Amino acid sequence: MRIVVDYDLCESNALCMTAAPEVFEVRDDDFLYVLQDEPAEELRAKVEEAARRCPKQAIVIEG
Amino acid sequence: MSLDRIVIVGASLAGLRAAEELRARGYEGGITVVGDEPHRPYDRPPLSKQVLTGTMDPAATALVVASGSIDDLGLEWRLGESATGLELEERSVLLGGGERLGFDGLVIATGASPRRLPGTDHLAGVHTLRTLDDSIAIRDALAAGPQRVAVVGAGVIGAEVAACARSLGIEVSLIEALAVPLERSLGLEMGAVVADLHRAHGVDVHLGVGVVLIEGSDRVERLCLSDGSVLEVDLVVVGIGVSPNTEWLEGSGLTLDNGIVCDATCLAAPGVVAAGDVARWPNERFAEVMRVEHWANAIEMGEHAARTLLGDAQPYTPVPWFWSDQYDRKIQLAGLASSDDIVEVVSGRLEDHRFVAFYGRAGRIVGVLGMNQPAKVMRWRSLVDNASSWADALAVAAASD
């Protein structure tokens, strides 16, 4: 599983951070940081939830 | 109860997320999606933002599914068709063409329709904003270079339309009958900050006044306001709220009262669930009966209703969440907010239009509002999730800011 964020779409709404804090962090500079590009498989449900919750559909899960 | 034929009325965000959840939970029977628009489900937030300013192709609003292609869901689409009635006993939905669609499970996600100003139907240049086609029409009207746009109603939709028009360099008058913009969403004190934001961007803001008359022969020419002022305008966008789309359910046996009245699990009748703007349910977290018109609720309630339909009936107890983009500001609210709550700014300053404020009620924190502070809003929303005491919430904010 590989995470690709379209930063042209991302608006730092930070919903992903609520769904999968192990993977996504919006910092006080208001930018999104992906903490793990290739998270472990056990995080898949959380990462899919993060992708579904993204108001910009900016998170794509490959593999 | 064995389910083999599920009908979803509403080719909407809530309807699509319900379909996705049905499949994710292993339901393999038929799913028919009925939608009165010709479009497949699309995303509404850009309709009052990027689509209006011409920075997003309307086709890009099409909703996708995280798990792959929307076609993989195996849905039967009945687009451009309206549901006109529900026969609960016979387990069928009536379509406009006279056809009956049988079901053994039904998801109702028919949304809401914008209220219109009475007596304006004959006038060109008066718009409401709800659908993709509405948004394209307003986009084109803005691109035609109007002298002045009047936005009637300063709720989320009106405020966003005003911001879009200003950012295109168009003169804007924003007219609101209540004391401040977003008063129902944010309360008086924080709504005043939004009024200030619009004034700072050169919007002509009229608060506490109504529209008495919209004049024009074929096309709108002027607005007469209740304070006696007259505005010469050539375009009007009306954003004075919505009414849930329940007319087709009159007499069906479902309980209708400002929406479809559901139980705590989103169930409206045996084998019938409702979700999104059209649904009202008791949110046990806040001991309040709610009808929530937010994007996030359409998703979460669509998913929840799907699970209830499959027999996993749990109370639906979300912390409501919405955001609004106006100019270069992102407003986010997690939880509840009203003029009766205590409000305290816990980070940043109101005058900088970059801050976080907490709302408190009966000794507990009930809402977190941020303007351009997404990280803090999302971090501190857990205080609302956990129903933290007001004192504890303030202490957490003070310690981490």
Residues A9, A57 contacting (CB under 8 angstroms)? yes
**Pairing relation of β-strands A59-62 and A2-5?**
antiparallel
Position B314 in a domain: no
**DSSP for residue B256:** B
**At which of B215, B238, B261 does a domain end?**
B238
B229 and B127 share one domain: yes
B121-135 b/e with 16+ CB inside 10 Å = b?
A: eebebbbbbbbbebb
Backbone torsions φ then ψ of B200, nearest 5 degrees = -60, -25
Q: What is the DSSP letter of B141?
A: H
Helix axes B156-167, B188-200, angle to 10 degrees: 10
Examine residue B131 and state whether it is found in any structural domain, yes or no.
yes
Is the pLDDT confidence value at B48 over 70? yes
Residue with tokens 């009475």: B118
Of A18, A55, A57, the CB nearest to B378: A18
* CATH number for the domain that contains residue A50: 3.30.70.20
Q: How many domains does chain B have?
A: 3
pLDDT over 80 at A38, yes or no: yes
Q: In the predicted model, what is the mean pLDDT of residues A1-15? A: 90
Give B377's contacts in chain A (Cβ within 8 Å): 14
B106 shares its domain with B138 = no
* Whether B386 and B288 share a structural domain: no
Chain-centroid distance of CA B238 in Å reads 15
* Dihedral angle, C-alpha B189, B195, B196, B198, nearest 10 °: 150
B67-76 pLDDT, tens digit per residue, is: 678 999 999 9
- pLDDT, tens digit, for every residue of B276-304? 999 999 999 999 999 999 999 999 999 99
Same domain, B13 and B26: yes
pLDDT digits (tens, 9 = 90+) for B236-271: 999 999 999 999 999 999 999 999 999 999 999 999
CA dihedral B56, B293, B166, B177 (to 10 degrees): 160
Task: State which residues form the domain around B360.
Answer: 328-400
- Does residue B102 sit within a domain? yes
What is the interface size between A and B, counted as CB pairs within 8 Å? 49
pLDDT (tens digit per residue) in B4-28: 999 999 999 999 999 999 999 999 9
Q: Is residue B323 part of a domain?
A: no
With CB atoms and an 8 Å threshold, state whether A53 touches B296: yes
Contact A51 B66 (CB under 8 A): yes
pLDDT score, position B140: 98
Of A26, A59, A61, Cβ closest to residue B375 = A26
Q: Give chain A's domain count.
A: 1
B242: left (phi over 0), alpha (psi -120 to 50) or beta: beta
Q: Is some CB atom of chain A closer than 8 A to the CB atom of B322?
A: no
Give residue-wise pLDDT tens across range B90-112: 999 999 999 999 999 999 999 99
Domain closes at, from B188, B213, B238: B238
Structure tokens at B81: 């068709």
Question: Are both B127 and B153 inside the same structural domain?
Answer: yes
Torsion angles phi and psi, residue B366, rounded to 5? -120, -15
- Residue B362 maps to which CATH number? 3.30.390.30
Give tens-digit pLDDT for B172-227. Answer: 999 999 999 999 999 999 999 999 999 999 999 999 999 999 999 999 999 999 99
Instruction: Inspect the interface and report whether the beta carbons of A14 and B377 lie closer than 8 Å.
Output: yes
Residues B395 and B247 in one domain: no
Q: Which residue has the tokens 């507990």?
A: B364
Domain at B141, CATH number = 3.50.50.60
Residue B10 lies inside a defined structural domain of this protein:
yes
Q: Which of chain A's residues have a Cβ under 8 Å away from the Cβ of B160?
A: none
- Whether the pLDDT of residue B150 is over 90: the answer is yes
Same domain, B171 and B79: no
- Is B40 part of any domain? yes
Residue A40 belongs to domain spanning? 2-62
B320: in domain:
no
pLDDT of residue B401: 67
Q: Which residue among A14, A48, A52 places its CB closest to the CB of B378?
A: A14
pLDDT over 80 at B66, yes or no: no
| Contact residues of A toward B, CB < 8 A | 11-15, 17-18, 25-28, 30, 48, 51-53, 55, 57, 59, 61
Whether B134 and B148 map to the same domain: the answer is yes
Q: Do B198 and B125 have their domain in common?
A: yes
Q: Is the pLDDT of residue B377 over 60?
A: yes
CB B331 within 8 A of CB B319: no
> Is residue B1 pLDDT above 60, yes or no?
no
DSSP-derived secondary structure letter, A41 = G
Do B109 and B252 reside in the same domain of the chain? yes
In whole numbers, what is the pLDDT of chain B averaged over residues?
Answer: 96
Tell whether ipTM is more than 0.95: no
Q: Which of B207, B238, B269 is the last residue of a domain?
A: B238
B319 occurs within a structural domain: no
Q: Quote the CA–CA distance of B388 and B391 in Å, as a whole number.
A: 8
- Tell me, yes or no, whether B30 and B85 share the same domain: yes
pLDDT (0 to 100) of residue B65: 86
Q: Does one domain contain both B231 and B121?
A: yes
